[in-house]
Structure 1
Amino acid sequence: MSDSDAEEVAKPKKATPKKKKALAAKTPKVKRKQDIIPGGEVAADASEGEATQEKKAKTPRKRKPKVTEPIVYEIPDVEKKTTTFKGRLGYACLNTILRNSKPDPIFCSRTCRIATIKEKGMEFVYDLGLQNIRDLLKLIEWNEKNKIRFMRMSSEIFPFASHGAYGYDLSFADKELKEAGELAKKYKHRLTMHPGQFTQLGSPKEEVVTASVRELEYQCEIMDRMGLDQNSVMIIHMGGVYGDKVSSLARFKENYTTKLSDSIKARLVLENDELCYNLDDIMPVCEELNIPIVVDYHHDWIYPSERPVTELIPKINETWKRKNIRVKQHLSEPRPGAVTVMEKRAHADRCKKLPEGLPDDVDLMIEAKDKEQAVLELHRIYDLEAVIWENLRPPKKDQTLATNGKKSAKTRSDGFD
């Protein structure tokens, strides 16, 4: 036999697919490693495997904590300006940073509906009030850190407290109110209040006057229980004309004289408005009744007095000095592009400058939509106070002229002008 023939014999013949199938059927299956257990306890192993799978199914999977990158805000530069002003700037009622804080927003105007009171009872209302006053302490602390020592408190700290049917006194919150007052006094912060537009002492309707007096009593009680001094004032407007300004003024004087307590009179101040009563209208009344006058520059721009406001300020400031109260004024600006009176009334998000002729040492309330951000921006523009950069937010690029009905006669007093 040749070498080539021997090699041909030595080569194994390839199995055909048919033979492969036959061989596989005859070959015994080899158990998997995990199935081979000493003692042949294969079935036990299977049941343990099922138990393990069941345990895994019951045990909740631990989720990795969500990592969120901090938002980085682009804060635009400001145009630097100079001033001799040495007073304080404040904002009204709401802090936008704290209100939007997560998971627990911080604000002082939690409220409810009468239907909720009927369903859940007065204890629910009391709890809302306590939450609001506790958050007031947090607002005061934030303001101190950011060098804002002047703020208007929300009129809705205690929901329905001045209501004719559901009203209540504040004795249940006496401890919390004292704590807030002590903190404000510790930092030398000035806290004020501004009853809403429904507070009309000159109204011809007795029920409106009665409700107005109740509202003033309620807000005065807040500040009295807090132990705040005479600088914590309540600002109101003269109210409506009701077709006869002279008669309305006479009613106001009569009701002020006969229906208000001395505690209310000690805190009550009057502000010029943009529709009914300008500075010329209220000055004689305030002189007669010894009521301080809050100058609102925006309102005077819309409904000006005969003489420039800068000429009236020295005489107006005397109304404050007579009662030993620090002078308070209001500043806001119309939104860009405002033409009609209604458009001019609506406040812009921020103020671009301080008013001309501003006295050096007054407290100026900035009534702007961006609240504390409007104050911080003026601090930057005039170098009034150092700002914490992380607490700055950029202004909106566009401001609409829509008022969204916020200037209606029944508007709430938060941020009220």
Structure 2
Amino acid sequence: MLGYAAMNRTLREESPPVRCNRSMQEATFEERGLSYVSELALQNVRDLLSILRWNVRHGIFFYRCTSKLLPWNLRYEVEELPQYDELADRLAEVGAFVRENGIRLTFHPNYYCKLASTSEDTARRSARDLANHGRWLDLMELPRTPYHAINVHVGATYGDREATLARFCERVDDLPTRAADRLVVENDDDEGLYAVGELADGVTNECGVPVTFDYHHHKFTHRGATYREGFARARETWDERPVVHLSEAERLHTGDTSVRPQSHATYVETVPDWLRAAADVMLEADAKERAVLYHTLTR
């Protein structure tokens, strides 16, 4: 399967726009409180179902939902929301649609989610964020496996790579099962961070978390391994069909060498057949659903 992340550009251009990332500034949160959070969360979940229905109509069965689905969820428990019962019903409706249509629905918490941080406060907030994502998936009644993944990065080395990986695994062990059983970890796009093999050895072998192979990131952390070798190592960490992230460098498409080599292009020109045959591929392209349709309609 090919998939895309978060925004559906086609639906976002409708009036009113269909989107599931409504949020607010902190001052608004403080002023309007959980009643307003409830309203936005319900709108987000309703629109998530609309996006999934659009995806199915267009033959797309792999989708990464935004982590803004329930805004400011670090500041409250979901059960505290005034419209919790209705929200739970709507999330269950999403989950039923996902199961009935064979959709792979995943999440990728934001960059601040750093479970291995040396800051106890950051680590605590990160653990709560992951637990919240697991709670959303539980409310959808989706299986507690990496098939419905919660994808993270280790985040940094903090001056000691081995100690950081060990700390990451210790904190995975402390997570509630609703998060830990769905957790996956991704290789990085910085030579000084983590390659696929380092994550397989230091994370999968130690605490059982599978490795998501990011094809574009592998360019920066290949450690001498080819793309096929990098994917093969990541694939070994999965007990089910793996997830792969695929993007291409914007500078290769535009010829603008001032653009960071890590920046994603609007489209992906090539999806290797061998990769598509062996994994579910998330296209991390700025064209979003249009990047997927470009490939599904031209095959």
Normalized against structure 2, the TM-score is what? 0.91
Q: Deviations over 1:96-150 (max 9, x none)?
A: 0101102x11000000012112222210111100000000111011001100011
Instruction: Pick the structure with greater CA Rg.
Output: 1
Give the counterpart letter for 2:215 in structure 1. Y
Whether contact under 8 Å (2:108, 2:151) holds in the other structure is yes
Q: Indicate the SS of the match to 2:51.
A: helix
Greater displacement, 286-295 / 140-149: 286-295
Q: Does 1:199 align with 2:113?
A: yes
- In the aligned structure 1, how far is the partner of 2:293 from the partner of 2:211? 26
- In the aligned structure 1, how far is the partner of 2:237 from the partner of 2:17? 40
CA shift, 1:334, in A, is: 0.7
Q: Does 1:303 align with 2:221?
A: yes
Change (3 A) 1:211 1:107: same
Match of residue 238 from structure 1: 154
Q: Deviations over 1:212-268 (max 9, x none)?
A: 0010011111111101122111010111122222222222122222x2122222100
Match of residue 211 from structure 1: 125
Give the counterpart letter for 2:180 in structure 1. K
Whether contact under 8 Å (2:151, 2:183) holds in the other structure is yes
CA shift, 1:357, in A, is: 4.1
CA shift, 1:356, in A, is: 6.8
Greater displacement, 238-247 / 172-181: 238-247
Match of residue 121 from structure 1: 33
Change (3 A) 1:308 1:368: same
Whether contact under 8 Å (2:109, 2:151) holds in the other structure is yes
CA shift, 1:359, in A, is: 5.2
Give the counterpart letter for 1:126 in structure 2. S
Match of residue 13 from structure 1: none
Structure 2 residue corresponding to 1:345, chosen from 262, 266, 271: 262
Q: Structure 2, unaligned stretches of length 5 or more? A: none
Whether contact under 8 Å (1:279, 1:305) holds in the other structure is no
Q: Indicate the SS of the match to 1:202.
A: coil
Structure 1 residue corresponding to 2:91, chosen from 177, 182, 203: 177
Give the 4+ runs in structure 1 shifted more than 4 A.
none
CA RMSD of aligned residues (A): 1.6
Whether contact under 8 Å (1:328, 1:365) holds in the other structure is yes
Match of residue 205 from structure 2: 287
Q: Indicate the SS of the match to 2:55.
A: helix
- In the aligned structure 2, how far is the partner of 1:136 from the partner of 1:319? 30
Percent of matched pairs sharing the same residue = 33
Q: Deviations over 1:36-63 (max 9, x none)?
A: xxxxxxxxxxxxxxxxxxxxxxxxxxxx
Match of residue 16 from structure 1: none
Structure 2 residue corresponding to 1:267, chosen from 160, 177, 182: 182
Q: Indicate the SS of the match to 2:212.
A: strand
- In the aligned structure 2, how far is the partner of 1:187 from the partner of 1:359? 20
Q: Indicate the SS of the match to 1:358.
A: helix
Match of residue 72 from structure 1: none
Match of residue 411 from structure 1: none
- In the aligned structure 2, how far is the partner of 1:187 from the partner of 1:374? 21
Question: Mapping of 1:52-131 within 5 angstroms?
Answer: 88-102=1-15, 104-131=16-43
Return the structure number with greater helix share: 2
Whether contact under 8 Å (2:151, 2:186) holds in the other structure is yes
Normalized against structure 1, the TM-score is what? 0.66
Q: Does 1:156 align with 2:77?
A: no
Change (3 A) 1:245 1:361: closer
Give the counterpart letter for 1:185 in structure 2. R
- In the aligned structure 2, how far is the partner of 1:247 from the partner of 1:169? 34
Q: Structure 1, unaligned stretches of length 5 or more? A: 1-87, 384-417
CA shift, 1:339, in A, is: 4.2
CA shift, 1:281, in A, is: 1.9
